[in-house]
Amino acid sequence: MPRVPLGRWAVVTAALASVAVPACTAGQPVGRDGGTARPVLVRPVGHQSRGEAEGSYAPQAMAVAPSVGLLSNTTAVEGVPRSVATGARYVRGSNVLLLASGRWMYLPAAGTTSVVVAPGHPPARLQIAQSRAWLGSGRIPGTTPAQRAAAERALLSLRALLRPNGAVAAGWSPGWQYSWPRDSSFVSAAFAHTGHDAEAYRILLHTAATQRADGTWEARTKLDGSGPPDRRRWQLDANGWVPWATWQWYRTAPWATRQARLTTLYPMIRKAADHAAGSLRTDGLPPASPDYWELMTTTTNIGTAAPLLAGLNAASDLARETGRPDDAARWGRAARRLSAAVSAHFAPLGYRRTADGRHGHDSAVAFLAPPFNAAPADLPRALDGTYRALLLPNGGLTPGNDPSAPWGGNAWTPSTAFFALAWATTGKTAKAGQVLDWVLSKRNPLGELPEKADRAGRPAAVAPLAWTGSIVLLALTALDGTPLPAPPLAPLWP
Residue 248: other Cβ atoms inside 10 A: 28
pLDDT of residue 454: 96
56: pLDDT strictly greater than 70: no
Task: Work out the percent of the chain whose per-residue pLDDT is above 70.
Answer: 87
DSSP 291-335: -TT----SS-BHHHHHHHHHHHHHHHHHHHHTT-HHHHHHHHHHH
Average pLDDT over residues 364-382: 98
- Residue 412 belongs to what H/E stretch? strand 411-412
283: pLDDT strictly greater than 50: yes
pLDDT digits (tens, 9 = 90+) for 189-242: 999 999 999 999 999 999 999 999 999 999 999 999 999 999 999 999 999 999
pLDDT band for position 66 (cuts 50, 70, 90): confident
Q: For 93-215, where are the alpha helices, taking DSSP H only? A: 122-136, 145-161, 181-193, 197-209
pLDDT of residue 322: 96
pLDDT band for position 408 (cuts 50, 70, 90): confident
Listed in sequence order, the residues at least 6 apart from 13 whose beta carbon sits closer than 8 Å to its beta carbon are 45, 406, 408, 410
> Is residue 334 a contact partner of residue 352, using CB atoms and an 8 Å limit?
no
pLDDT of residue 406: 73
Find residue 391's DSSP bridge partners. 397
- Residue 338 belongs to what H/E stretch? helix 325-345
pLDDT of residue 14: 36
Average pLDDT over residues 404-411: 86
pLDDT of residue 493: 58
Residue 482: other Cβ atoms inside 10 A: 14
pLDDT digits (tens, 9 = 90+) for 436-459: 999 999 999 999 999 999 999 999
> Is residue 147 a contact partner of residue 440, using CB atoms and an 8 Å limit?
yes
